[in-house]
Amino acid sequence: MTATLIWILVGLVAIGLYLSWTAGRLDRLHARIDAARAALDAQLLRRASVAQELATSGVLDPAASIVLYEAAHAARLAEEEQREVAESELSQALRAVFSEAQQVEAVREAPGGEDAAGELAQAVRRVPMARRFHNDAVRAARALRRHRKVRWFRLAGHAPFPLAFEMDDEPPAALADRATA
């Protein structure tokens, strides 16, 4: 009788340790999502700021400046529910303005343009990477949260179900070429 109780107690402790380890893993994944989201927000803000700065610098033609400024301004001020759409529209505006290499060359030839073009190229290159890191963390947390043990024992607590950040983040071809150069 005593041996049976000891084995039951050992089994319960083992199950408890396993559930505790799983809850800790899930907590670490949620922390990783938070950190990745903060990094993504920083990169999106940097891209919008650089685009807005370039739009107001006077090196672009007036129509391109207006299109780029409005899209960057909308992306910076977008509410959380509209953020993906606003950021996608900024990507589309960047592709429209910098669709040809001549536009990038015109920016580079202006005083201080070399730095501005380089900074924008880096910003548009880093946004997809930051988004990919965020979405990978979300995918891992979702996979773990789908397991029965996590649902049955409510190991996720009150944490909201993680959502991926879906947007059009394809850089303009002329700037993508510039980023690798």
Residue 151, in any domain of the structure: yes
pTM for this predicted structure = 0.89
Residue 52, in any domain of the structure: yes
Residue 165, in any domain of the structure: yes
On average, the pLDDT of the chain sits at 92
Residue 109, in any domain of the structure: yes
Average pLDDT over residues 17-21: 94
Domain residues for the domain of 140 are: 29-175
Label residue 112 left, alpha or beta by phi (over 0 means left) and psi (-120 to 50 means alpha).
Answer: left
62 and 163 Cβ atoms separated by less than 8 Å: no
Domain count, the chain: 1
One-character DSSP codes across 72-85 = HHHHHH--GGGHHH
Residue 13, in any domain of the structure: no
Residue 23, in any domain of the structure: no
Residue 181, in any domain of the structure: no
Residue 22, in any domain of the structure: no
User: Which helix (H) or strand (E) element contains residue 147?
Assistant: none
State the pLDDT confidence band at 181, using cuts at 50, 70 and 90. very low
User: Which helix (H) or strand (E) element contains residue 129?
Assistant: helix 113-145
180 has pLDDT over 60? no
Average pLDDT over residues 115-133: 94
